[in-house]
Amino acid sequence: MEVNRIKTWVLIAALGGLFVVIGQLIGGTHGALVALAFAMVFNFSMYWFSDRIAIATSRSKPVTEQEYPALYRVVHELTGAQDMPMPRIYVSEMAQPNAFATGRNEHHAAVAVTKGLLQIVDDRELRAVLSHEISHVKNHDILIGSIA
């Protein structure tokens, strides 16, 4: 788990460094400083808002337990078994079957599924898909996936 965090921060630093190098090549010291400022704003934005961007891009909407009791039950069971907080749950109207987890960490995580997926899977298959997504949250894969 800690290795994934280190890899994420190395990626963020490398992207920032790439911005600075390109800025230096284009505009000298002034270009490097402008690129550094841009990289800092960009990385800050990606860290804080990447989950919202992913949710918006997939046109997912937050749902309640009353609307999707089976979905909530499975996510609650899976996160409870891992002693994790319950992520926010979203459903997209998209017809193609898909699911993803996003966020900064397990305290700021979201899981989204498409209606297309919910229409074709049974409870066992839904549990398998959501288990995979919850494992991304548990292993801290979601930040690097969200930023990428």
- CA atoms of 2 and 146, how far apart (whole Å): 17
Strand order from edge to edge, sheet including 99-103:
60-62, 88-92, 109-114, 99-103
How far is the CA of 21 from the CAs of 7, 17, 38, 47, 148, in angstroms? 21, 6, 12, 22, 20
133 counts as catalytic: yes
**Summary count for the chain: helices (H), strands (E):** 5, 4
Catalytic residue among 2, 93, 125, 133: 133
Distances (CA, A) of 134 to 34, 40, 75, 129, 144: 39, 30, 8, 9, 15
Question: Among all residues, which ones are annotated catalytic?
Answer: 133
